[in-house]
Structure 1
């Protein structure tokens, strides 16, 4: 992903929230798949406790983390962010490394846990950044156009 800060501006809150809602639905589908695999491992029975329960919890957390790390590092956007023309980058507009994406995810988890304070922080910040963006030194940008052209706009080679 190229530098994006030249032609992008900070993301508006409503687009940010819409992307979070979209990604939450996608993540829920991933969690259903993980849960289905664990039910199969448990021979169709509900997982009510024991070691398999803790392993399921760890797998759900790993799926959540992998979802964001993969999309942020490989494409600079999750699918929800792509739908709303948002992209995440470091302070200099470069793509996130795995370590930086992990730091952003952890900061978001910690700062948003108490009533979403990390997200609402943007109203106190002079640049409109969330608290987790400040702590992880990342930024969420609104792109002027979608960097991935639709199938209709692509030229077809004959």
Structure 2
């Protein structure tokens, strides 16, 4: 009996719940990292290096998700919702697959958050705000429809990284 027959694909709503949980953890990590960066910058009198800060935060996010996915296949949010990322080789991913999964997840979250950001007063008046919102909402509907129709409930990041998010059985006690 194969792994896909013994473990069922994770429901979309559980994946979203784990994503929100992990997003809050990542936000906390980023806030701590920015605090450290600000203190070090003030201590040594350096100016703002926005590109370096963005790269630092992206790398920190990759370390958080990549390490979790390559060491047991679970982030803290996934543990809370009994989810695990599996690959063709078993539980957990290899680093290249984790990198591709993380990169596409960032794109997917960007598409998801763009309509909300377009509602901000300073962005709402931009000429491309409305078309970008419509494109992003269309991509969201298509993405969720594709996940719903896929028997393994795979998202774009799963297809790219060759992974599957599974629902783990309840443990007694």
- TM-score range with shorter-chain normalisation? 0.7 to 0.9
- The answer to whether 1:130 aligns with 2:155 is yes
Greater percentage in helix: 2
| Cα distance change of structure 1 residues 88 and 124 upon mapping to structure 2, 3 Å threshold | same
1:56 maps to 53
TM-score under structure 2 length normalisation:
0.71
1:19 maps to 18
- The answer to whether 1:84 aligns with 2:109 is no
Uncovered stretches (5+) of structure 2, i.e. residues with no partner: 113-138
* Aligned counterpart for 1:100 among listed residues 88, 97, 101: 97
TM-score under structure 1 length normalisation:
0.77
Count of aligned residue pairs for this structure pair: 142
1:72 maps to 69
TM superposition shift of 1:125: 2.4
Moved over 4 A (4+): none
Uncovered stretches (5+) of structure 1, i.e. residues with no partner: 154-158
TM superposition shift of 1:4: 5.2
| Cα distance change of structure 1 residues 111 and 20 upon mapping to structure 2, 3 Å threshold | closer
TM superposition shift of 1:110: 3.1
**Matched-pair contact (CA < 8 Å) for 2:72–2:91:** no
After the TM superposition, which of the residue ranges 52-61 and 89-98 deviates more from structure 2? 89-98
